[in-house]
Amino acid sequence: MSRTDAPMDEGLAPWGSRLLGTADEDSKTRRIRVQSLLSLSLIGANLLAVAMTVVLACFVLPGPPMFTRRLLLLNVVLVPVWSTSIIIVGTVWSTVVGLRALGWAQKLDHVPDERQRRAAARAPRTLTLEAAVLWIVTLIVLTTAYGAIEPLLIPKIALAILGSSIMVCANTYLVVEFGLRPITARILEVEPQRARHGVGVFGRTMLTWTVGVIPVAVAMAVAVWALADPTVSKARLAVCMLSLGGSTLGFGMLLMAQLTESTVAPIRGVRQALRRVENGDLQTAVTVYDGTELGELQSGFNTMVAGLRERALIEDLFGKHVGRDVALAAISSGSELGGTETDAAALFIDIIGSTTMTATRPAAEIVALLNRFFGIVVDEVERHGGLLNKFEGDAALAVFGTPAPLPDQAAAALSCGRAIQRRLSAAPDLQAGIGVAAGRVVAGNVGTHNRYEFTVIGDAVNEAARLCELSKSYDELLLTSATTLAAAGAEEAANWRLGETVTLRGRVSPTQLAFPQS
């Protein structure tokens, strides 16, 4: 799918969220939007983790108190300075790495090469590993600093930082993956069959579960701690359980909302596009922006719709070549050879003087004349419920009553012949003889299994051809037989008059001619 065909099936949210902007947004605005979204989200996640660490260490977890004179310097200077420095370093680091990996995305018309695609696909994991490194360093530094003054604080500090670091790392991955949806869409647009590099729906669920159960895991650790340390009071244990239980409920709701959004957004886009396909819009498509199994669902939908478009095009071309009714009959019955005997009417029409015109006029003029002629013929045949079965140079054969049945095929063919004759009489350079006949014919597929065509064979077709040939000798330029007139309804028969009886070329029995009323 080209850039100019970027789908708008998700309205103002082509990547599943309005926070990510619109498809027609300029590259500078999109870069600022994505960078701001990632930076603010990651800073917010780190600030929340810092707050969580402070609350756990100072107010929730049992152990020696944190607010003592010996720890004053660490609490007032080291922790604020270190936390601020780590957040600044993490923001700058992620920005530098992000610009290196995603700098090509600033140009909407740039096609990323393989190295750039790999770097962009690895961006969520890369930024998550950076966050993990910073928090591991924080764990080492603060545990060592507090442990040097009060060794009994080591478990408390380590447990608080470890729980917060797991939360921030998991959240970093989900946030970055969300923010990079426009970039992922660019990658998958260039390389639709690229192997998925995301953690998958299962991986996202497990990440969410991991973050959600951190308070539960900490609560279990506190319970074990309380069993091992009889100095832990019931009040402190109750505070721990209530705090951690409330955190589980709050974080669980937020994380489930985040997981649900990342899972539902691609499905919602496919569902909306399906509705458009059901309404006949085969030009719709979804933006493939998810690097998991859901992205395969989006891509599969686009492949399916492309197949439907191709089939519709083939059916349209097939219908134009052989007629819509024949095309529908072929689709329903398959490639079965043979025919069936049925009642039908045939109309044969042939331009008068075509040989002379071909010899005296330019080819382009002849083609234009034939197109005008067949335009009139096809229009009237279809309007009267018939099928233009064959084009034979400057002649054509139309059938009525097969493959689609008609209540009065003879009347339809006769009415069609009169309508064509009236329209051609207004164009002096498009004079043609017309013959109409009705009777029993054999209609079906003739040829081989590799190549065949729908055709109509029978005496009525031969009679129509002979009447067409003879009609060029009469001023009316339109002939039928008394037998065909008798087969038509009285209303149509009233528009005709009987004439002389002749023996048509190649036939034994005489035929009484019929002419349209002047």
- Per-residue pLDDT at 488 exceeds 90: yes
- Per-residue pLDDT at 1 exceeds 50: no
More confident residue, 140 or 4: 140
Q: CA-CA-CA-CA torsion for 270, 271, 272, 276, nearest 10 degrees?
A: 90
Measure the CA–CA gap between 473 and 478, rounded to whole angstroms. Answer: 10
Question: pLDDT digit string (tens) for 101-122?
Answer: 776 766 666 677 777 777 777 8
- CA distances to 479, 480, 492 from 500, in Å: 11, 12, 20
Q: Measure CA 282 to chain center.
A: 8
Lookup: tokens for 349: 């029409």
pLDDT computed for residue 22 by the predictor: 76
- CA distances to 40, 103, 128, 364, 478 from 32, in Å: 12, 12, 21, 58, 76
pLDDT computed for residue 199 by the predictor: 66
Model confidence at 451, pLDDT cuts 50, 70, 90, reads: low
E strand segments, 57-173: none
Q: Are 438 and 410 in contact (CB under 8 A)?
A: yes
Q: What is the DSSP string of 392-433?
A: ETTEEEEEESSSS--TTHHHHHHHHHHHHHHHHHT-GGG-EE
pLDDT computed for residue 198 by the predictor: 56
Name the amino acid, one letter, at 445: N
- Per-residue pLDDT at 95 exceeds 70: yes
DSSP alpha helix (H) spans, 334-408: 354-360, 363-383
E strand segments, 448-487: 452-457, 478-481
- Per-residue pLDDT at 335 exceeds 70: no
Name the amino acid, one letter, at 437: A
How much is the mean pLDDT over the chain? 80
- Per-residue pLDDT at 181 exceeds 50: yes
Model confidence at 498, pLDDT cuts 50, 70, 90, reads: very high
Cα-Cα-Cα-Cα dihedral sign, residues 435, 441, 447, 450: positive
More confident residue, 74 or 337: 74
Question: pLDDT digit string (tens) for 75-92?
Answer: 999 999 999 998 888 888
How is domain 336-516 classified at the CATH fold level?
Alpha-Beta Plaits (3.30.70)
Q: Domain segments of the chain: what residues? A: 25-305, 336-516
Model confidence at 331, pLDDT cuts 50, 70, 90, reads: low
- Per-residue pLDDT at 410 exceeds 90: yes
Question: pLDDT digit string (tens) for 190-200?
Answer: 665 554 555 67
DSSP label of 57: I
Name the amino acid, one letter, at 348: F
Question: pLDDT digit string (tens) for 150-171?
Answer: 998 998 898 888 878 887 887 7
- Highest mean pLDDT among 21-25, 41-45, 135-139 belongs to 135-139
pLDDT computed for residue 322 by the predictor: 47
Measure the CA–CA gap between 83 and 259, rounded to whole angstroms. Answer: 28
Model confidence at 325, pLDDT cuts 50, 70, 90, reads: low
